[in-house]
Amino acid sequence: MNPTSVVDTIVQEITIKGSAGRIFEALTDPGQRVKWWGSEGRFQTTHMESDLRPGGKWMMRGNGMGGKPFRVTGEYRQIEPPRLLVFTWLPDWQEDAIESVVRFDLKEEAGVTTVRLTHSGLASESSRTSHKGWPQILTWLQGYVERQG
What confidence tens digit (pLDDT) does each residue in 12-59 have?
999 999 999 999 999 999 999 999 999 887 889 999 999 999 999 999
**Rounded to an integer, what distance in angstroms lies between the CA atom of residue 8 and that of residue 3?**
14
The mean pLDDT value for 85-114 works out to 93
**Rounded to an integer, what distance in angstroms lies between the CA atom of residue 104 and that of residue 43?**
21
> In this predicted structure, what is the pLDDT of residue 149?
63
Quote the mean pLDDT of the chain. 91
> In this predicted structure, what is the pLDDT of residue 44?
92
Higher pLDDT, 7 or 108: 108
Q: What's the predicted TM-score (pTM) here?
A: 0.91
> In this predicted structure, what is the pLDDT of residue 96?
76
What confidence tens digit (pLDDT) does each residue in 64-77 have?
888 899 999 999 99
